[in-house]
Structure 1
Amino acid sequence: MTQEIEETVRVLKHQNSLKTHLFHLVHVNYYCKDSSGRYLGCEIALAEFSFVDGVRKSLHTFINPNQIPLGYAYLETKPATGIHLIALPADDFGSESDHLEMLGNIRLFLMGEDGDKTNLLHLYMRPGDIKAVESVLWQLNERPGLHMNAGRDSFCIYSVCKLFHKLQNTSMGVPSEVILPSSFLDEHDLINDTPEFVEGISCFFHEELEAMRYCSLSHMERWSFLIMEECCGLLAIEIVSGKHCDLSTYLTKRARVVYLIWCWNPKNNSKKQY
């Protein structure tokens, strides 16, 4: 995985396409993990961003697992629903039962208008939940259907933390033989990032329940913003509100810059502490 990420970013830098390349992030919430290691998903979201365009589009769907294994409906789903609040039965809020159609929508989202299947190869997720994403996508691939099963091995789920580490090193112009600490963005940062309660970047369900921080769609937006916020300046790309960061974060930072400029303006006769 690490070699694949390093090679991907190296090639992008060599081709001068790092700023325009499309990266895809993915996140799932799930009801439970059964004894076979299978995760029963209840929500999935994907986001597409580039450093130049910011977040270009996103995809969000509630998953109807159709059937919870006997013995798991209470003991295993109660802790999960206590976090993401997506309760059973899933039909109550418009979850998708046609898993084949859901898989098709994911493929179309990733391939784009030109139908480029190479975009299916790399999806990035928080390291601790990679197994859950792999499991949910595998189950969607398992569903009986015409030609969809031919691409069951097309999804590769990699660590978004390792991706960010390599992107930041490359954006700073750090030579490939120099290895900087990988603590720029770890899993703890992705779970406890600052804009976790920002409104307007999560789905309607979690917005109404004021549980935005647990929404899969909110995770996608926030992770994209975190990566772009750190790298865009190094790549000489202007931050645009709504594309590279949420509006409230943008306004807060802009107000702070204005305040600092005012404090250090000689006409104000004093330099305030900050």
Structure 2
Amino acid sequence: MFVITGATGNVGRHVVAELLDAGHKVRALSRDPATASLPDGAEVARTADLPLEGATGVLLNPAAFWNGVDELLDRARRAGVRRIVVLSSSAVLAGEGNPIGDHHLALERQVEATGLEWTHLRPGAFAANALGWADQIRGNGVVRGPHARAHTVPIDERDIAAVAARALTGDDLAGTRPELSGPESLTFADQARIIGEAIGRPVTYEELSPEAARAAMAYAPEPVVDALLAFWAEAVDRPQPVSSEVERITGRPARTFAEWAAEHVRDFA
């Protein structure tokens, strides 16, 4: 039995499907099981109840635990869970002072301190981040955001899920910290153009001033906004490193952003 936290999220939903397809029992945790709409065969339970009894491994998505993971880790030890797979972030590689990286690194260390087996998945930018542009693209086909020429290496959430399933079910990734990325470095303008090609009409990216970009990101804590804007500013005209870990671990190439966009035409059209 594997417990998937954040089971209705961009990654968790695909991990549930991967495990079920491979014949494993899955307990999927959701804040609202009645609306989870997860694949048939999954046992769906409330996140707040933390039902970990009988679980061999747990996928830990920190986004599902705003108040920390102390209780989850304590229950995991008492329930006899063998392994924790953490959905961490490549931001941990940025060094101290990056609030996103610091948060995930602290979580990694907390999991290691339990004495349980662990794997820390460190993906970079999610392809699914582009879903935040959907309203603008459906509107006039113009995406407005910071640093049009900033590079990221967006990874398809299904590739993260495939690696997570492998980490939960096999022993070869125990004690490792695979850094995960898509197969190509793309600017935000590139990503907008590729989505346009997928939906069959032009999509352009209009760069906002730093002040306007900051105002548009007011929904996020200020230190996080500072960290993201600083990273993107440094990534302007600088292609980012591409990791081959998805292919090494899964045995197939990482999906391209164009493939991801083609799978999400209905979100943008």
> Normalized against structure 2, the TM-score is what?
0.24
User: Which has more radius of gyration?
Assistant: 1
